[in-house]
Each structure stands twice: as C-alpha cells, then as structure tokens.
Structure 1
C-alpha cells in the first residue's frame, strides 16, 4: 500500500501501454459522447480529426484506468479535490497505442486534517509515435501512513 509519504516530488509512475480499439471508441461514444467522428469511421475521416477518434472524455477515462493500474489502485487514495487542467493535444484514433506516466510535482500535508495529504501530479498520455495526446495536472488526497500523528 502506498501512502502520502511515498509520493515524493519527482517520483514517476509509468503506465502500461493500451491499444485503442474501434469497438471501444464506438461503445464509449454511443453512451457518453455520440458525435459522428466518435461513432463512424467515414465521418471521422471527413472531420478534422482524420479518422475514428476517441472522445476527449474517453481519452481521459483511459488515462484514469492507466493511473489506477500503475499506482492509484494500491494507494490510500481518498479521491481528488479536482483537476487543475486537462489538455487534449492530438486525436486518439482507432489503432493507436497509448502509454504515459504520472509525475509527482508536489506533496503537502493537510493543515486542517492530520490524517491526509495532497499530492499534485502531472500526467501525460502519448501515442505510439511518442506524441503527447493528453496532459493534465490534478491533486489527489492520500491518507498518511501514521495517521498524521507525530511522537
């Protein structure tokens, strides 16, 4: 289990690659973002995106899954107070293979609750050409190993 104390500035968590399948793009878009370029290959080719493309929200959800698998799923995470920013840099197309990382930018104990701290991450997803497709910064609330108690 990873606790607040394990998230020191500069620590990097690499993501395992994930292949993006057309069927997954269409399934996500059908439920959450039913725009033509996310539902139909031909409509995607006619768009400025150049092919069947994942919704930015889908890309963000994939990034969240990658983060869970890389470290968050084995941490004492208590959720997030929000995202500072999310930039979708390039389209994610069917057939792309995404990888990436989360980097600890800063960590600070809570001043109002002894048992938790805030860890700020910069996360980046890249495609198989090592082009950034999504970049974000967000903080996560993580329990402290000692509950914030000091001897």
Structure 2
C-alpha cells in the first residue's frame, strides 16, 4: 500500500492509454453535454473543431479513469479529492485519439485538523497520440497517513 509518507514532491509519473471512441463521445455528450458539435458531424464540421469532438468534461472523465487505474496499480491509500485548482482544455479531443497522462507531485502536507490524512497537489498534463497536450489540471488529493502520530513533511 502506498501512503502519504511514501510520496516525494517532484516525483513524476507517466501512465494510461485511453482510446477515444465515437460511440463513447456521442453517448457522453448526449447525457451530459449535448452541444451539437459533440453530436452532429455536419454541425461540427462548420465549427472551429472541424469535426466531431469530445466534450472537455468527457476528457476530464477519461483522465479520471486513467488516474484511478494508476492509483489501483500503485495500491495508493487514496481518500478522494477536495477538488481542483486549475483546469485548461488546450486542444480538441477527437474520436480515434489515444490519451495518456503525465503527472508531477508538486506539493504535499499533513492535515493539521485530521492528522490521519495527507493533502497532495499534482499537476497533470493529458497528451494525445501525437504527444500534443490536450488538457492540463492541478488537482488536490487526500491520502491516508501510515503513522498519524508522527508529523510528516
């Protein structure tokens, strides 16, 4: 199990391989972001996207899946997240793209009010198959502290 004490600021990781399908783009958009350029080829072709594109929120969801898969692989003692500080959609994501994530731990601290919990801040960049960044975010995480009695840095 990977705990707060095991994390080192500056550590980088590269992970994930998520293939974006047309069916999933349309299903997500139909449920959560039913704008025409996510659902209609003809409408999308007349926009700056040039063709059907995934919702930015769908890109977030695909990224979350890759992150959770990585947490599971690392056996991280994750306790969820209080939110994100920054989110940017840099380029459209299209059906047929394959996404991956690069992450860097930029900050960590033990909670003063809940010493059994560590707080982390990570910078993630999501890339497509051409190594073009399509999304960036700075996210906050909560992770279990192995030894809450001992103050951690």
TM-score over 0.5 for the alignment? yes
In the superposition, the TM-score normalised over structure 1's length comes to 0.93
What pairs up with 1:1-151 in 2 under 5 angstroms?
A: 1-71=1-71, 74-146=75-147, 148-150=148-150
> How far, CA to CA, are the matches of 1:72 and 1:82 in structure 2?
20
1:140 and 1:120 mapped to 2: Cα distance?
Answer: 6
Give the 4+ runs in structure 1 shifted more than 4 A: none
Comparing 41-50 with 89-98, greater Cα deviation is found at 41-50
In structure 1, C-alpha distance between the alignment counterparts of 2:95 and 2:44, rounded to whole Å: 10
Gaps (5+ residues) in structure 2? none
**1:23-79: CA deviations, max 9, x gaps?**
000000010000111112222211111211000000000010011111267321112
Q: In the alignment, is the contact (CA less than 8 A) between 2:71 and 2:78 conserved in 1?
A: no
Q: Which runs of 5 or more residues in structure 1 are unaligned? A: none
CA contact (8 A) 2:87 2:135 kept: yes
Report the number of matched residues: 150
Tell me if the contact between 1:67 and 1:102 (Cα under 8 Å) persists in the aligned partners: no
| 1:14–1:102 CA contact under 8 A, matched in 2 | yes
